[in-house]
Amino acid sequence: MFVAVDENLWAVYDAMGASFVDHAADGAYNAHYDRPAVLAAIGAVEGLDVLDAACGPGFYLQKLVDAGARVRGFDASEEMVRLAKERVGGEVDIRRADLDSTLPYDDESFDLIVCALAIHYSSDRSATFGEFFRLLRPGGRCVVSTGHPASDFARKAGSYFDVVMESDTWNISDTESYEVRFWREPLSSLTAAATDSGFVIRSLIEPRPTESMLERWPEDHAELSRAPAFLVLDLLRLA
Ligand SMILES: C[S@@+](CC[C@H](N)C(=O)[O-])C[C@H]1O[C@@H](n2cnc3c(N)ncnc32)[C@H](O)[C@@H]1O
């Protein structure tokens, strides 16, 4: 089954539903590459007010709740919101909201915003970073992971400096493939979207594959040891 989705970029996640959970729960790139890198960048969260932006089915929400944070989350996909609620139960405020719109939270509500593997679905990254800046208290941090622009460029045609919508086919099971569209842009454009919104870059992390990948996915481990697929931005709202 091949599913092409022509509406909003997040609509494919409604279509993937529980299949995305199976794909991401213990998959090489989500569970053994992105999450270890992002969680290491985040550090201790006990007692912090944390927003999980584009929370998907709630893998980060669960980790953050377990680590003692006061967590809220949102996603544009109704199905991801439902799956996230199923994962963490009724205690956590999880809403349907869109990275492309004003987010339904008050100014300076959070100490930390986590946005894993989703900023590339926002059609206006500057506006999204602007919203994240508004929602953070002074001194608050925003940790964002996304596709590495160099790796996305290497897989695609055109100029590295293009800001273009790209499309990948995800074969997430033996029987299901989905067309997943996303924005590709140069690194300078992504970082400018953050810094023009007022953020200072604390660090830019190019993750290395974890040892846990070596035995189960040796080819992915070798490839990710050669070139990064994702990057992590650790951003600070100073004042
Ligand atoms: C690759 S998943 C990542 C989910 C989660 N952050 C994680 O790492 O497990 C991307 C998520 O972004 C959500 N998404 C895509 N576009 C969005 C938008 N415009 N606003 C809010 N969420 C969006 C999708 O529905 C999906 O749940």
pLDDT digit string (tens) for 78-90?
Answer: 999 999 999 998 8
Q: What is the CA radius of gyration of the chain?
A: 17
- Is residue 100 in contact with ligand 1, taking CB distance under 6 Å? yes
- Is residue 24 in contact with ligand 1, taking CB distance under 6 Å? yes
Res 167: pLDDT: 95
pLDDT at 4 over 80: no
Rounded to the nearest whole angstrom, what is the distance from the C-alpha of residue 81 to the centroid of ligand 1?
10
Give the span between the Cα atoms of 111 and 125, in whole angstroms: 20
pLDDT band at 144, cuts 50/70/90? very high
Give the span between the Cα atoms of 236 and 233, in whole angstroms: 10
- Of the ranges 72-86, 95-109, 171-185, which one carries the lowest mean pLDDT score? 171-185
Average pLDDT, integer, range 210-225:
95
Res 225: pLDDT: 97
Residue 108 DSSP class: T
User: Which secondary-structure segment (H or E) carries 65?
Assistant: helix 59-66
Residue 153 is which amino acid? Answer: F
Residues of the chain above pLDDT 70, percent:
97
pLDDT band at 6, cuts 50/70/90? low
- Is residue 145 in contact with ligand 1, taking CB distance under 6 Å? no
Give the span between the Cα atoms of 53 and 125, in whole angstroms: 13
pLDDT at 1 over 90: no
Cβ atoms within 10 Å, residue 220 = 18
pLDDT at 7 over 80: no
Rounded to the nearest whole angstrom, what is the distance from the C-alpha of residue 222 to the centroid of ligand 1?
27
- Is residue 76 in contact with ligand 1, taking CB distance under 6 Å? yes
pLDDT at 111 over 60: yes
Res 164: pLDDT: 93
CA 21 to chain centre: 15
Per-domain residue ranges of the chain: 2-137+194-236
User: Which secondary-structure segment (H or E) carries 21?
Assistant: helix 18-25
Indicate the fold that domain 2-137+194-236 takes in CATH: Rossmann fold (3.40.50)
pLDDT band at 101, cuts 50/70/90? very high
Helix axes 125-135, 187-195, angle to 10 degrees: 30
Give the span between the Cα atoms of 145 and 206, in whole angstroms: 10
Average pLDDT in the chain: 95
Rounded to the nearest whole angstrom, what is the distance from the C-alpha of residue 147 to the centroid of ligand 1?
13
Average pLDDT, integer, range 127-150:
98
Look-up: residue for tokens 């290497």?
154
Secondary structure (H, E, C), 128-149: HHHHHHHHEEEEEEEEEEEECH
Residues of the chain above pLDDT 90, percent:
93
Decide: 32 and 210 in contact? Cβ < 8 Å: yes
